């Protein structure tokens, strides 16, 4: 671009020689002198006409004062300190003086900036900048997909630093978590079964909430990629999410608190999924003896991309100068000294030491999710985070005393075992209640409330709600010669959940039965379906999940009942399948929500 200074130089290029020639002739050549003075006057007029712009340019040639412009850089909080120091060096350089630019760096949470641009999540505001350096390209992909027309998001393809995700624990616990004969992999770390075996495992994996953390979101992506190679991928992924949500940490500080509070001899050593730099930073700041473990099947890397958020050509030039400065050999050395890898994945071995488990070689790159995949992962996580409100109704009719072939157990025993096992799938804040049903149990009603709906960790006469439910399930017994008032019970329970609907929870009716309604005084199946169809509200959904036991079950009525409430019906003779059934129901809930969104 041709600058005003260039125009001035062209206008005055003959001026100086002409004046000097006049001086050498002792004042002769008046005509030449006049032309020279006229050219100089024209140049001066041009300069005056340029006004403020000319002043900025001249000021850049002879030193910048109040006319310096600022290049605002929003960087992930962990990298902002070292970038601030580098910005000070840049501001003192000739390049910054020539551009009349001052770089100002401030820490800004990557998710906060992303949500402020897209409006897709909570934000604290004050996130504007001309350059953005988040901790991961994951956020950039999300922003580029959902940003408005007025938002400028230009990826330069440059990473100013890198830091792969590792497993962080203590030196004392590392021998329990890993051995040379059995190195850890992502498939080992996150159980994909309904009932987690983490209680007996030597480690407990903790992640930071993926809604606010690239490390947490990347962990979901790693797990998703892992289970996609397995049979029943969707239900296994939901199981993994449930297990991760049992050990979520809101932020890094809370995660590291788990390490400091880990008691000697604790059965499960905490393993934190964090970056190398986070482990180094914590160790340096606190003096704690953290130790890092690299999963054997590779990992995802935080790549700190350099992103432009301006269309101003002059600002873009200044941003390009700072980008080039950050990728220089000297700047990369400074970045490595702060616990990061440089853009070529090399480390400073005096900083990331073998003593703490760090390795100079990169552990192997696993593919990052695309923008739609990242959005879907967050959606699935948020949907599973919704609290559960569950009313379970259990059949105690006479037929529940019959044996389930091949098990040596009655239908009642199989059902109560399944229900008791199912309680372990829910966190303490899940709200669960229990009814039993047959025919004419309570003043002419076919059902009876045994335990009201309450959070599982609520104190009930010195015991928890969980313990109260377990005891009630253990006392259930078939009613001799009792019929099955299935349809009346389902309608009454559904109306109860609809009237007491909790908008911040997933409201579900769970029916455990031998599946056949034989109460001939009850409403008919068609009448029940009509009532349920009229009661179901898409914006206040209550779904029915029905699980039936026994070889003579007719699955069709329960399937129709579940379908009208966007639920699901299952038939099984194996009580160990209850976990997979619950997970299938959760997967249905997620896919059902997505389908509704697609229809909109």
Same domain, 97 and 168: no
Instruction: Report the CATH number at residue 293.
Output: 3.40.190.10
Is the domain of 319 the same as that of 285?
no
pLDDT of residue 578: 63
Closest CA to 397 of 381, 379, 410: 410
Question: What pLDDT shows up at residue 334?
Answer: 98
Domain range for 294 is 164-174+182-302+370-379
Contact 447, 441 (CB under 8 A): yes
CA distance 504 to 502: 6
Q: How confident is the model at residue 286 (pLDDT cuts 50, 70, 90)?
A: confident
- Are 495 and 595 members of one domain? yes
Are 431 and 569 in the same domain?
yes
Cα four-point dihedral sign 226, 231, 233, 235: negative
Among 40-49, 369-378, 515-524, the range of highest mean pLDDT = 515-524
pLDDT, mean over the chain:
79
Residues pairing with 69 in the sheet: 101
Does a structural domain hold residue 364? Answer: no
pLDDT over 90 percentage in the chain: 40
Mention every residue, 6+ apart, whose C-beta is less than 8 A from residue 267. 199, 200, 202
Decide if pLDDT at 415 tops 60. yes
What's the rounded mean pLDDT across residues 437-443?
A: 92
The answer to whether residues 437 and 547 belong to one domain is yes
Q: What is the mean pLDDT of the segment spanning 354-362?
A: 93
Could you tell me which residues come within 8 angstroms of residue 57 by beta carbon, excluding any fewer than 6 positions away? 3, 4, 5, 50
Smallest Cα–Cα separation from 434: which of 488, 395, 398?
A: 395
Helical H segments across 190-326, by residue range: 214-227, 233-245, 252-260, 276-286, 313-326
Alpha-carbon distance values, 207 to 49, 224, 272 (Å):
61, 15, 6
pLDDT band at 28 (very low <50, low <70, confident <90, very high): very low
**Residue of higher predicted confidence among 26 and 101:** 101
100 within 8 A of 68, measured Cβ to Cβ: yes
Q: E strands along 309-385, which residues?
A: none
Please give the residue that has the higher pLDDT: either 415 or 185.
415
Q: What would the 3-class secondary structure string for 509-543 be?
A: EEEEECCCCCCCCCCCHHHHHHHHHHHCCCCCCEE
Question: Is the predicted pLDDT of residue 523 greater than 70, yes or no?
Answer: yes
| Residue located via tokens 């599973």 | 384
Question: pLDDT tens across 176-199, in order?
Answer: 555 544 567 776 677 666 544 444
H helices present in 13-105, as ranges: 15-24, 30-50, 52-62, 80-91, 94-99
Does the pLDDT at position 408 exceed 90? no
Q: Kindly report the CA angle at 527 between 525 and 533, in degrees rounded to 5?
A: 100
28, two tokens: 């002769």
357: which residues sit within 8 A by CB, 6+ positions away? Answer: 174, 291, 292, 293, 294
Confidence band of 22 (pLDDT split at 50, 70, 90): very low
Is 126 found in the same domain as 35?
no
Q: Specify the range with the lowest mean pLDDT, choosing from 33-37, 211-215, 301-305, 313-317.
A: 33-37
Average pLDDT over residues 440-468: 95
Average pLDDT over residues 415-427: 80
Please give the model's pTM, rounded to 2 decimal places.
Answer: 0.65
> Is 12 within a domain?
yes
Our count of domains for the chain comes to: 4
How would residue 49 be classed by pLDDT, with cut points 50, 70 and 90? very low
For the segment 44-63, the average pLDDT, to the nearest whole number, is 37
Local structure of 464: helix, strand or coil: strand
Q: Are strands 69-75 and 131-133 parallel, antiparallel or unpaired?
A: parallel
CA 313 – CA 2 distance, rounded (Å): 13
Same domain, yes or no, for 52 and 197? no
pLDDT score of 284 more than 50: yes
Query: What CATH number has the domain bearing residue 517?
Result: 3.40.50.410
Structure-model confidence comparison of residues 300 and 248, the more confident one: 300
pLDDT in tens, 479-520: 998 999 999 999 999 999 999 999 888 899 999 988 789 888
State the average pLDDT over residues 88-99: 93
Longest CA span, the chain: 135
Residue 594: which pLDDT band, with cuts at 50, 70 and 90? very low
CA nearest to 281, candidates 340, 212, 347, 342: 340
Q: What is the rounded average pLDDT of the residues 132-146? A: 85
The least confident of 11-20, 160-169, 252-261 is: 11-20
Query: Residue 28 falls within a domain, yes or no?
Result: yes
Q: What are the structure tokens assigned to 422, written together?
A: 């199912």
- 268 three-state secondary structure: coil
For residue 342, being part of any structural domain is answered with no
Distance CA 275, CA 216 (A): 10
Determine the pLDDT at residue 260. Answer: 74
Classify 407 as helix, strand or coil. Answer: coil
SS3 115: helix
The structure tokens listed for 428 are 């303490």
pLDDT at 327 over 60: yes
Helices and strands per DSSP (H, E), number in the chain: 23, 21
pLDDT at 316: 93
The answer to whether residue 190 is domain-embedded is yes
Tens of pLDDT along 227-269?
Answer: 776 666 777 777 778 778 777 888 888 888 877 776 444 556 7
Burial track 174-191 (b if 16+ CB lie within 10 A, e otherwise): beebbeeeeebebbbbbb
- Identify whether residues 290 and 394 lie together within a single domain: no
- Is residue 431 in a domain? yes
The most confident of 381-385, 533-537, 589-593, by mean pLDDT: 533-537
Q: List all residues 6 or more positions away from 244 whose beta carbon is below 8 Å from its beta carbon.
A: 190, 205, 207, 219, 220, 223
Residues 193-211: b if buried by 16+ CB within 10 A, e if exposed: ebbbebeebebbbbbbbbb
Residue 420 maps to a domain: yes
Same domain, 529 and 403: yes
pLDDT score for 1: 42
For residue 380, name the pLDDT band (cuts at 50, 70, 90): confident
* Beta bridge pairs of residue 269: 203
Give me the torsion for CA of 396, 398, 399, 402, rounded to 10°.
100
Do 418 and 558 sit in the same domain of this protein?
yes
Q: What is the pLDDT of residue 34?
A: 43
Please state the rounded mean pLDDT for residues 432-458. Answer: 95
Do 453 and 496 lie in one domain? The reply is yes
Residue 427: predicted pLDDT:
76
**Torsion angle (degrees, nearest 10) of CA 461, 463, 468, 474:** -120
- Which has the higher per-residue pLDDT, 291 or 260? 291
% of the chain residues with pLDDT over 70: 75
Mean pLDDT value of segment 154-178? 83
118 and 205 assigned to the same domain: no
Calculate the dihedral angle through the C-alpha atoms of 159, 160, 165, 169, rounding to the nearest 10 degrees.
Answer: 180
Comparing 403-412, 460-469, 541-550, which segment has the lowest mean pLDDT?
A: 403-412
In a domain, 551, yes or no: yes
Q: Which two tokens stand for residue 360?
A: 């100079």
* 101 sits in which H/E element: strand 101-107
């Amino acid at each position: 671009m041709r600058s005003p200074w260039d125009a001035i130089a062209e206008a005055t290029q003959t001026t100086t020689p002409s004046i000097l020639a006049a001086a050498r002739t002792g004042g002769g050549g008046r005509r030449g002198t006049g032309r020279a003075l006229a050219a100089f006057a024209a140049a001066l007029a041009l300069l005056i006409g340029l006004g403020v712009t000319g002043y900025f340019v001249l000021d850049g040639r002879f030193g910048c004062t109040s006319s310096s412009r600022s290049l605002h850089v929003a960087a992930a909080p962990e990298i902002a300190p070292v970038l601030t120091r580098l910005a000070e060096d840049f501001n003192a350089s000739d390049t910054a003086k020539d551009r009349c630019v001052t770089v100002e760096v401030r820490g800004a949470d990557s998710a906060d900036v992303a949500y402020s641009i897209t409006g897709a999540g909570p934000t604290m505001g004050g996130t504007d900048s001309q350059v953005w350096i988040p901790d991961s390209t994951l956020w950039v992909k999300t922003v580029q997909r959902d940003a408005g027309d007025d938002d400028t998001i230009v990826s330069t393809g440059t990473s100013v630093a890198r830091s792969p995700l590792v497993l962080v624990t203590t030196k004392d616990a590392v021998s329990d978590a890993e051995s040379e004969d059995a190195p850890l992999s992502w498939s080992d770390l996150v159980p994909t079964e309904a009932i987690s075996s983490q209680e007996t495992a030597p480690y407990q994996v903790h992640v930071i909430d993926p809604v606010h953390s690239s490390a947490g979101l990347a962990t979901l992506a790693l797990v998703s990629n892992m289970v996609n190679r397995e049979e029943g991928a969707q239900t296994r992924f939901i199981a993994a999410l449930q297990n991760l949500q049992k050990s979520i940490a809101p932020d890094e500080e809370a995660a590291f608190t788990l390490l400091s509070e880990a008691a000697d001899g604790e059965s499960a050593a905490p393993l934190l999924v964090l970056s190398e730099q986070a482990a180094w930073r914590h160790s340096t700041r606190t003096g704690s003896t953290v130790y890092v473990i690299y999963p054997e099947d590779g990992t995802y890397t935080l790549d700190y991309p350099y992103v432009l958020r301006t269309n101003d050509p002059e600002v873009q030039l200044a941003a390009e100068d700072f980008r080039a400065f950050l990728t220089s050999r000297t700047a990369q050395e400074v970045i490595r000294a702060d616990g990061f890898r440089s853009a070529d994945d090399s480390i400073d071995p005096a900083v990331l030491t073998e003593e703490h488990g760090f390795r100079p070689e990169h552990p192997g790159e696993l593919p990052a999710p695309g923008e739609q995949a990242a959005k879907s992962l967050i959606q699935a996580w948020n949907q599973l985070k919704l609290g559960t409100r569950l009313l379970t109704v259990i059949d105690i009719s006479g037929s529940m005393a019959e044996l389930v072939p091949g098990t040596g157990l009655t239908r009642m025993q199989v059902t109560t075992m399944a229900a008791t096992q199912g309680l372990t799938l829910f966190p303490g804040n899940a709200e669960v209640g229990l009814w039993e049903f047959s025919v004419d149990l309570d003043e002419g009603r076919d059902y009876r409330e045994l335990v009201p709906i309450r959070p599982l960790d609520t104190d009930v006469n010195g015991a928890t709600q969980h313990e109260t439910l377990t005891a009630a399930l253990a006392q259930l017994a078939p009613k001799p010669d009792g019929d099955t008032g299935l349809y009346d019970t389902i309608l009454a329970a559904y109306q109860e959940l609809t009237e007491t609907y909790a908008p911040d929870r997933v409201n579900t009716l769970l029916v455990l039965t031998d599946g056949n309604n034989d109460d001939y005084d009850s409403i008919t199946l068609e009448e029940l379906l009509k009532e349920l169809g009229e009661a179901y509200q898409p914006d206040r959904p209550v779904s029915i999940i029905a699980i039936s036991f026994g070889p003579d079950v007719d699955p069709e009525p329960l399937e129709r009942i579940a379908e009208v409430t966007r639920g699901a019906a299952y038939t099984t003779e194996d009580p160990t399948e209850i976990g997979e059934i619950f997970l299938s129901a959760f997967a249905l809930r997620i896919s059902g929500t997505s389908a509704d969104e697609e229809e909109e």
